[in-house]
Chain A
Amino acid sequence: MNRNEIIEKLTPIARQIFADEVMVLNDDLSAANVANWTSLSFMQFLTEIENQFGFKFKMMEILKLQNMGAVINAIENHTNA
């Protein structure tokens, strides 16, 4: 999948999990600037990504997922592997 396809598929997931119907994904979104980006919602976000994109994150990967850009990169790596 390319980046645009990933963002298109990821946007409704992020909007639902972070309870923001108009969220527009960009690389800088993170716990520091998204009100609902909490430990609980982020875990739910990762689980939903794994279900929808059909892969499992590794421990070392999730430790680096500090913003949306890193999440998109990780999905890109998995879906193009």
Chain B
Amino acid sequence: MIDFKSQILTPVFSSIENRASNNAFFIDGTYYTYRQFAERVSAIRDVIRAAAQNEHIWGLSLHDDLNTYASIFALWMEGKAYVPLHPSWPEERIASIKEQVGCSNVLDACDAPYTGDLLDDWAEASEDDLAYILFTSGSTGVPKGVQLTRRNIAAFMDSFWKTGIDITPEDRCMQVFDLTFDVSVQSYLVALTRGACVYTVPYGQVKYLYAASLIQELHITFGAMAPSMLTYLRPYFEEFDASSMKACILTAEACPVDLMEAWYGCAKNTEIYDFYGPTEATIYCTYYKLTRGVENLSLNGIISIGKPLANVQAIIIREDGSLVEGQEKGELCVAGDQVTPGYWKNEEKNSSSFFVRDGVRYYHTGDLCYWHESGNIMYSGRIDQQAKIQGFRVELGEIEHHARTFYQNERRVIAIAFQNEKNLTEIALFVEAQQEDTKPLVEYLRSKMPHYMIPTRILFEPSFPLNKSEKVDRNELKKKLQ
């Protein structure tokens, strides 16, 4: 049976029971055993049970520490859900999320004393109860919350193991992702459900450097990374020994084929996978396993996103909703138990993002794709104005919204995602005005958005070029970035 208890809670507590003295985490230079993890889970369950207003959804202030990871499992054992709140986010963003969700309880590096084991007696919970809500960029300037249920997570976990990736208690699994980003959930669940050790990248570190030192010095055997991390490391590939890795997932961004061919040189014993998926379909929904020494399936230098996971159904549709034929491009839509029940209290977005076809509820991914004759899906870009920056999904409309607000709606602004000379995605912001000091604008944007959403280039144009429809010609503006 595929449910949250059998896929997540039982395996993790089996790891605690059977491998108490094994390491569960390596965090900022310190190892913590499954026994220590269990004691923190027990102590935090006490805190949750004692809360005056015991709401279903709790805020979780994120730190790279054992208490933060233990809090997640304590909440799940109590049948509750968490919404991640990052201390580095602008206060206004955190307040907006807490207000939207209506959560007054926040676990923040909870170091309550351990008074005894509280590892059984799991609260009764429905598979439709929420497990977490992740807030992503919203084009109106207000972050939107993607709700993920216990059913969604269980279905994901089942799908994951059916890809053939196998993790054992001897494995050393890397967790490089910010806990606001859902690949982090895969990164810790895969290890903890198999009794392996999770090696985290502390906040305040340059991730690609820390991850590389974990791989090289602590001999990581499995990990998911964003391709941009490898792009940063590419000048040093000749000296980089990643031969300890038996499997490596590339995800969160389009995966360049030439980068993977170069990566094979360092990751000599590694099976490489390209995983794709929007948060709305729980972490990943398709995957492609690369084969060493042959030409892997790619489009415009980008590896295929492969075939749907076991619990995902995929279709590609035209604008009118009909199915594409042959290798015609269209929008990828996904269905199945991994798909979110919807955005938190956002009827407008829910009605535009989901649809029912032949009795099956699908999610519009916004990704332009086509079917390769082999049955793999080829990724061709975004339909809308979204970009992936360091793996984070960014609505360019949200950046424009805040910039327009800064200029009191008196100037036109256009945010454009572009590839720099290293093939990494950056954001440029064009402002229709004469050149001026950008510092006040940047400071304002920093007070509204996380760091990864702040444009790395701000350019002024006295007047924007227009296309034949009298709209601002984004393509012309983009040419100015070359």
Smallest CB–CB gap between A57 and chain B, Å?
8
Binary per-residue interface labels of chain B (218-250) against chain A in the complex, 1 for a CB within 8 Å, 0 otherwise: 000000000011001000100110000000000
Contact A63 B239 (CB under 8 A): no
Whether A62 is near chain B, meaning CB under 8 Å from some CB there, is yes
A58-B264 Cα distance, complex, nearest whole Å: 20
Contact A59 B236 (CB under 8 A): yes
Contacts of B352 in A (CB 8 A): none
A65-B210 Cα distance, complex, nearest whole Å: 10
> Which of these binds chain A: B36-44, B118-126, B201-209, B312-320?
B201-209
Whether A1 is near chain B, meaning CB under 8 Å from some CB there, is no
Whether A31 is near chain B, meaning CB under 8 Å from some CB there, is yes
Whether A38 is near chain B, meaning CB under 8 Å from some CB there, is yes
Contacts of A57 in B (CB 8 A): 236
Give the size range of B's interface with the partner.
20 to 34
Given contacts A32-B204, A59-B236, A60-B239, contact A43 B451 (CB under 8 A): no
Contact A39 B204 (CB under 8 A): no
Contact B442 A19 (CB under 8 A): yes
Contact A31 B239 (CB under 8 A): no
A35-B205 Cα distance, complex, nearest whole Å: 12
Contact A35 B239 (CB under 8 A): no
Given contacts A43-B232, A63-B216, contact A37 B206 (CB under 8 A): yes
Contact A35 B204 (CB under 8 A): no
Binary per-residue interface labels of chain A (43-78) against chain B in the complex, 1 for a CB within 8 Å, 0 otherwise: 100000000000001111011011000000000000
Q: Mostly helix, strand, loop or mixed at chain B's interface?
A: helix
Q: When the two chains form the complex, which single residue of B203, B207, B240, B446 contacts A39, counting CB atoms closer than 8 Å? A: B207
Q: Specify the chain A residue showing the minimal Cβ separation from B209.
A: A63
Which residues B449-464 have CB closer than 8 A to chain A?
451-452, 456
Contacts of A65 in B (CB 8 A): 209
Q: When the two chains form the complex, which single residue of B240, B422, B426 contacts A59, counting CB atoms closer than 8 Å? A: B240
Whether B424 is near chain A, meaning CB under 8 Å from some CB there, is yes
Smallest CB–CB gap between A23 and chain B, Å?
13
Whether A40 is near chain B, meaning CB under 8 Å from some CB there, is yes
Q: Specify the chain B residue showing the minimal Cβ separation from A42.
A: B206
Q: Specify the chain B residue showing the minimal Cβ separation from A43.
A: B232
Contacts of B353 in A (CB 8 A): none
Contact B213 A39 (CB under 8 A): no
Contact A63 B204 (CB under 8 A): no
Contact A63 B213 (CB under 8 A): yes
Whether B390 is near chain A, meaning CB under 8 Å from some CB there, is yes
Which residues A4-49 have CB closer than 8 A to chain B?
19, 30-33, 35-40, 42-43
Whether B212 is near chain A, meaning CB under 8 Å from some CB there, is yes
Contact A40 B451 (CB under 8 A): no
Contacts of B442 in A (CB 8 A): 19
Contact A39 B451 (CB under 8 A): no
Q: Specify the chain A residue showing the minimal Cβ separation from B420.
A: A40
Contact A63 B212 (CB under 8 A): yes
Given contacts A59-B236, A59-B240, contact A40 B426 (CB under 8 A): yes
Smallest CB–CB gap between B140 and chain A, Å?
25
Smallest CB–CB gap between B401 and chain A, Å?
21
Binary per-residue interface labels of chain B (431-448) against chain A in the complex, 1 for a CB within 8 Å, 0 otherwise: 000000000001000100
Contact B207 A59 (CB under 8 A): no
Contact B451 A35 (CB under 8 A): yes
Contacts of B390 in A (CB 8 A): 38-40
A31-B207 Cα distance, complex, nearest whole Å: 10
Contacts of B422 in A (CB 8 A): 43
Contacts of B206 in A (CB 8 A): 31, 37-39, 42, 66
B residues contacting A by CB (< 8 A) are 203-209, 212-213, 216-217, 228-229, 232, 236, 239-240, 390, 422, 424, 426, 442, 446, 451-452, 456
Ordered nearest first, which 5 A-B pairs have the shortest CB separation?
A32-B204, A59-B239, A59-B236, A63-B213, A43-B232
Given contacts A38-B452, A59-B212, A65-B209, 17 further A-B contacts (CB under 8 A): A19-B442, A31-B205, A31-B206, A33-B204, A35-B446, A38-B206, A39-B206, A39-B390, A40-B424, A40-B456, A42-B206, A57-B236, A59-B240, A60-B239, A62-B209, A63-B216, A66-B209
